[in-house]
């Protein structure tokens, strides 16, 4: 036996590289070429191996330390060349550290994820309560991702001396470089991007078709039906201008086939793209069985797959309300409502958020008498009230009944009707309905995947805390989408999926989007991004507002849809755009320009001096900026004193 210093090998042109993970402990028996620590530069990750077998006497570094070529990281008592290979060891039977080293290549704790270079990535916008818990829980959890308490990470032999960027475990050691759990917009984006970057990828989905809730029973089918409803309403509205059609003759089977056909085109396209990229698609219900393994249960078999890294994209599920018999087929969630089994004469929508109002628009246009009950004092509580008001007024005009500040105390299932009991302002004690649609939100599926088996932290609500690179408390396991906090939106999940895939492949990426837009595809549409005026007031900001009413828009008047409004919030000091909201036809398309304007730190002058085509709805953005600047000529506004 002889003492031997272990030094940082040649790491190229890099200097002062952070130590992001310690893979062993003092006193451990180590093998030749076993990885001891993981380093991360701004280009790649690398592991420092032991040059010889022996016992680790001393660690000279800790997580977060920075090292350069030649620095001593550890001291070992090396075995002499002639020693018997059968000499007993204090390590557990069959234990080695290759799995630990494979999992950790490229992993960063919260402590180091913001410090690998002089540039500190911005944190991805997410629920404020999650931000605070992410910073505390991930730092402690990631620092402990080593040998202690994690036998799964030591179960496989044959670790290498370094890792190719993005390959945290060779394909000979694991079934896949990356496994993605869930094939919704975030999941398939992560899988496809990772495959494009050269990783061997498996995409696991419990349902027969790819696309998740969004493509199959959410965003896409609802938009197809909303389009149909808007055409019905537009045709009816033309009667006031001399063009009259008869009442619509709705063939529900054909309408359902149209909706399903739209979905099939997209889900089939995803399957084709997965095949072309070489992504293995595995169907079944999946749960973690270890830190590098997942068990998949299908109708015919149970199998286990192993992975170097994983992206959890398992989404969310609907929230059920006590006292409402969800087992009754006449009580629907949003997915059930999209099945279009019938057009009920009387429909109760429980929840006045985006999904509830979208489905209220669909069923009203198809002929149902719709009642919406909302617990809050405003529909669509996340948006400013002046944006929601035109929608509320139009829906009331078209016959929808609203009860705000009202609770559904219970629903009793009768033979021919469902009787709902109400508690709240202006609401009757009870009313009868033919169908009830429950749309009061969704809860994350973090508690459905046996995350503790992988050492992944899940909070009491089912959310998985993540850092700015979408890493969970286990640095080789990422989480994205609905699982990591609000807003629960497909475009947020897709963005996060791409970030996770690129980080997994060794790229220097972080979720640094400044804002995430929200859109209600109602009629009229409501869209907003950045700060709302309510938030600006609450924060005590010095801000100003520019509003342009669509009653002064030639394009909106020509469409007979002048109820719209474009609203911009600016910082009075810098003039930069802080937030924006639009209500009106195609508001969801207009909000993209305003999202980019916030990302680019545009000022009111930048927007107002950008030439917009005329006549369009988009020029209302320019004119709202001109209102704030006081340069508007398409309206007469008294000069500010």
**Residues marked as catalytic:** 614
CA torsion sign, 161 to 166 to 168 to 172?
A: negative
Please state, in angstroms and rounded to a whole number, the distance separating the CA atoms of residues 482 and 456. Answer: 16
Distance of alpha carbon 43 from its chain centroid, rounded?
26
H or E stretch at 555? helix 554-558
Please state, in angstroms and rounded to a whole number, the distance separating the CA atoms of residues 307 and 175. Answer: 6
- Whether the Cβ atoms of residue 472 and residue 464 lie closer than 8 Å to each other: yes
- Whether the Cβ atoms of residue 384 and residue 529 lie closer than 8 Å to each other: no
270's CB contacts (< 8 A; 6+ apart) are 183, 188, 210, 211, 215
Please state, in angstroms and rounded to a whole number, the distance separating the CA atoms of residues 376 and 399. Answer: 21
The b-or-e profile of 101-127 (16+ CB within 10 A means b, else e) is bbbbbbbbbbbbbbebeeeebebbbbb
CA distances from 279 to 106, 179, 202, 204, 274 (A): 22, 10, 6, 10, 5
Residues pairing with 45 in the sheet: 40
- Closest to 347 (Cα-Cα) out of 399, 415, 390: 399
Phi, psi of 284 (to 5 degrees): 155, 170
Please state, in angstroms and rounded to a whole number, the distance separating the CA atoms of residues 386 and 567. Answer: 9
To 5 degrees, how large is the angle CA 250–CA 252–CA 257?
Answer: 120
Please state, in angstroms and rounded to a whole number, the distance separating the CA atoms of residues 552 and 407. Answer: 39
- Whether the Cβ atoms of residue 516 and residue 491 lie closer than 8 Å to each other: yes
């Amino acid at each position: 036996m002889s003492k031997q210093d272990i030094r940082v090998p040649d790491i190229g042109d890099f200097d002062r590289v952070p130590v992001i993970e310690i893979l062993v402990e003092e006193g451990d028996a180590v093998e030749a070429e076993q990885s001891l620590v993981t380093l991360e530069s701004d280009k790649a990750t690398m592991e420092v191996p032991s040059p010889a077998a022996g016992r680790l006497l001393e660690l000279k570094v800790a997580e977060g330390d920075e090292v350069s070529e030649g620095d001593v990281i550890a001291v070992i008592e090396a075995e002499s060349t002639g020693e018997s290979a059968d000499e007993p060891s204090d390590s557990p039977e069959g234990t080695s550290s290759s799995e630990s080293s494979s999992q950790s290549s490229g992993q960063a704790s919260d402590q180091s994820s913001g410090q690998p270079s002089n540039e500190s990535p911005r944190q991805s916008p997410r629920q404020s309560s999650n931000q605070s818990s992410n910073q505390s829980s991930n730092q402690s959890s990631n620092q402990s991702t080593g040998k202690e308490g994690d036998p799964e990470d030591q179960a496989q032999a044959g670790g290498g001396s370094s890792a190719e960027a993005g390959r945290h475990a060779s394909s000979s050691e694991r079934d896949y470089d990356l496994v993605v759990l869930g094939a919704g917009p975030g999941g398939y984006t992560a899988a496809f991007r990772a495959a494009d970057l050269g990783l061997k990828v498996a995409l696991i989905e419990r349902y027969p078709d790819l696309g998740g809730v969004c493509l199959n029973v959410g965003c896409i089918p609802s938009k197809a039906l909303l389009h149909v409803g808007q055409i019905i309403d537009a045709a009816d509205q033309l009667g006031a201008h001399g063009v009259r059609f008869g009442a619509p003759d709705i063939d529900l089977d054909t309408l359902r086939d149209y909706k399903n056909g739209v979905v099939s085109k997209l889900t089939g396209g995803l399957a084709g793209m997965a095949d072309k990229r070489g992504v293995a698609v595995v169907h079944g219900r999946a749960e973690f069985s270890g830190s590098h393994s997942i068990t998949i249960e299908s109708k015919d078999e149970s199998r286990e797959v192993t992975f170097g890294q994983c992206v959890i994209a398992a989404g969310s599920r609907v929230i059920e309300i006590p006292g409402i018999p969800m087992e009754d087929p006449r009580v629907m969630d949003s997915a059930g409502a999209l099945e279009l089994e019938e057009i009920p004469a009387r429909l109760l929508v429980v929840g006045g958020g985006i999904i509830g109002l979208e489905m209220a628009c669909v069923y009203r246009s198809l002929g149902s008498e719709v009642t919406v009950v909302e617990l809050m004092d405003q529909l669509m509580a996340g948006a400013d009230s002046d944006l929601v008001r035109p929608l509320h007024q139009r829906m009331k005009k078209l016959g929808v009944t609203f009860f705000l500040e009202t609770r559904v105390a219970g629903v009793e299932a009768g033979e021919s009707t469902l009787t709902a009991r109400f508690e709240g302002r202006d609401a009757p004690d009870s009313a009868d309905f033919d169908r009830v649609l429950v749309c009061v939100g969704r809860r994350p599926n973090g508690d459905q995947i046996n995350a503790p088996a992988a050492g992944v932290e899940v909070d009491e609500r089912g959310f998985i805390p993540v850092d700015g690179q979408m890493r969970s408390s286990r640095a080789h396991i990422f989480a994205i989408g609905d699982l990591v906090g609000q807003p629960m939106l497909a475009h947020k999940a897709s963005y996060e999926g791409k970030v996770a895939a690129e980080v997994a492949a060794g790229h220097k990426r972080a979720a640094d989007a400044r804002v995430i837009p929200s859109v209600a595809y109602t009629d009229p549409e409501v869209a907003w991004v950045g700060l709302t005026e309510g938030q600006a007031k609450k924060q005590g900001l010095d801000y100003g507002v520019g509003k342009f009413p669509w009653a002064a828009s030639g394009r909106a008047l020509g469409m007979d849809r002048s109820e719209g409004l474009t609203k911009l919030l600016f910082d009075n000091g810098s003039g930069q755009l802080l937030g924006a909201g639009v209500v009106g036809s195609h508001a969801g398309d207009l909000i993209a320009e305003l999202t980019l304007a916030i990302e680019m730190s545009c000022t009111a002058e930048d927007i107002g001096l950008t030439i917009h085509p005329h006549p369009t709805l988009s020029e209302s953005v320019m004119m709202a900026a001109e209102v704030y600047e006081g340069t508007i000529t398409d309206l007469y506004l008294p000069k500010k004193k």
